[in-house]
A and B are shown apart, each in its own frame.
Chain A
Amino acid sequence: MSAVQLRYMLPLSLFVVLAVGLGVGLTRDPSQIPSVLIDQDVPRFSLGPVEGRARGLASADLEGEVRLVNFFASWCVACRVEHPLLNRLTEDGTVPVYGINYKDEPHDARRWLDRMGDPYVRSGADHDGRVGIDWGVYGLPETFIIDRNGRIVYKHIGPIRPEDLEQTILPLIEELRG
Chain B
Amino acid sequence: MIAEIGHYALILALLVALVQGTLPLIGAQTGNAAWMAVARPASVGQMLFIGISFGCLTYAYVVSDFSVMNVAQNSHSAKPLMYKISGVWGNHEGSILLWAMILALFGMAVALFGGNLPPTLRARVLAIQAWIAVGFLAFALFTSNPFLRLDPAPFEGSDLNPLLQDPGLAFHPPFLYLGYVGFSMAFSFAVAALIEGRVDAAWARWVRPWTLVAWSFLTLGIAMGSWWAYYELGWGGFWFWDPVENASFMPWLAGTALLHSAIVTEKRDALKSWTILLAIIAFSLSLLGTFLVRSGVLTSVHAFATDPTRGVFILAFLVIVIGGSLTLYAIRAPKLKAGGLFAPISREGGLVLNNLLLTAACSTVLLGTMYPLALDALDLGKVSVGPPYFNGTFGPLIMPLLVAAAIGPFLTWKRADLPGVLGRLKLAFAVTAVVFVGSWMATTGGSPLPAIGLGIAAWLFTGAMIEFAGRIKLFRAPLSVSFNRARHLPRSAYGMTIAHAAIAIVVASIIVSQVWRTEHIALMHPGEQVEVAGYTFTFKGVRDLAGPNYSAQRAEFVVTRDGEPITRLFPEKRTYPSQDMTTTEAAIHTTWLADLYAVIGDPDGEGGWSVRIYHNPLVPWIWLGAIMIVVGGAVSLTDRRLRVGAPRRARAAAGADAKPQTA
Chain A positions within 8 Å of B, measured between CB atoms, are 4-5, 8-9, 11-12, 15-16, 18-26, 28-31, 34, 73, 75, 77-78, 80-81, 84, 102-103, 111, 114-117, 129, 132, 136-140, 157-159, 162
**Contact between B329 and A4, CB atoms less than 8 A apart:** no
B448 at interface by CB-CB < 8 Å: no
A129 to chain B, nearest CB (A): 7
**Contact between A12 and B330, CB atoms less than 8 A apart:** yes
**Contact between A116 and B601, CB atoms less than 8 A apart:** yes
**Contact between A26 and B326, CB atoms less than 8 A apart:** no
Number of chain B residues close to chain A: CB under 8 A: 56
**Contact between A34 and B382, CB atoms less than 8 A apart:** yes
B377 at interface by CB-CB < 8 Å: yes
B393 at interface by CB-CB < 8 Å: no
B294 to chain A, nearest CB (A): 12
Kindly state the separation between the CA atoms of A116 and B521 in the bound complex, as whole angstroms. Answer: 11
| Chain A residues in 8 Å Cβ range of B581 | 84
Kindly state the separation between the CA atoms of A138 and B376 in the bound complex, as whole angstroms. Answer: 9
Chain B positions within 8 Å of A, measured between CB atoms, are 163, 229, 233, 235, 240, 242, 273, 277, 280-281, 284, 291, 295-301, 303, 308, 311-312, 315, 318-319, 322-323, 326-327, 329-330, 333-334, 370, 372-374, 376-378, 381-384, 386-388, 521, 580-582, 601-602, 610, 612
B565 to chain A, nearest CB (A): 28
| Chain A residues in 8 Å Cβ range of B373 | 21-22, 25
B248 to chain A, nearest CB (A): 15
**Contact between A11 and B326, CB atoms less than 8 A apart:** yes
| Chain A residues in 8 Å Cβ range of B240 | 75, 77
| Chain A residues in 8 Å Cβ range of B382 | 34, 136-139
**Contact between A12 and B384, CB atoms less than 8 A apart:** no
Q: A16-B323, A25-B377 are in contact. Are A115 and B384 (CB under 8 A)?
A: no
Q: Which 8 A-B pairs have the closest CB atoms?
A: A138-B382, A158-B299, A24-B377, A12-B326, A78-B301, A26-B311, A9-B330, A21-B377
B355 to chain A, nearest CB (A): 14
**Contact between A136 and B381, CB atoms less than 8 A apart:** yes
Q: Interface on chain B toward A: helix, strand, loop, or mixed SS?
A: helix
Q: A138-B372, A162-B580 are in contact. Are A115 and B521 (CB under 8 A)?
A: yes
**Contact between A21 and B372, CB atoms less than 8 A apart:** no
Given contacts A22-B318, A22-B373, list 18 more A-B pairs with CB under 8 A.
A4-B334, A8-B273, A8-B334, A11-B277, A12-B327, A21-B370, A21-B378, A26-B297, A26-B312, A30-B298, A103-B384, A115-B601, A117-B601, A136-B381, A138-B376, A138-B383, A139-B382, A159-B301
| Chain A residues in 8 Å Cβ range of B333 | 8
B560 to chain A, nearest CB (A): 25
8 A-B pairs with CB atoms under 8 Å apart are A12-B326, A15-B322, A26-B312, A77-B242, A78-B300, A115-B521, A138-B384, A139-B372
A32 to chain B, nearest CB (A): 11
**Contact between B330 and A30, CB atoms less than 8 A apart:** no
Kindly state the separation between the CA atoms of A27 and B184 in the bound complex, as whole angstroms. Answer: 29
Kindly state the separation between the CA atoms of A77 and B238 in the bound complex, as whole angstroms. Answer: 11
**Contact between A28 and B376, CB atoms less than 8 A apart:** yes
> Which residue of A is nearest B326, CB measured?
A12
**Contact between B370 and A18, CB atoms less than 8 A apart:** yes
**Contact between B301 and A26, CB atoms less than 8 A apart:** no
> Which residue of A is nearest B600, CB measured?
A115
Q: A4-B334, A129-B384, A137-B384 are in contact. Are A15 and B601 (CB under 8 A)?
A: no
**Contact between B315 and A30, CB atoms less than 8 A apart:** no
**Contact between B297 and A25, CB atoms less than 8 A apart:** yes
Kindly state the separation between the CA atoms of A138 and B612 in the bound complex, as whole angstroms. Answer: 30
**Contact between B297 and A103, CB atoms less than 8 A apart:** no
Q: A77-B240, A137-B384, A157-B299 are in contact. Are A22 and B315 (CB under 8 A)?
A: yes
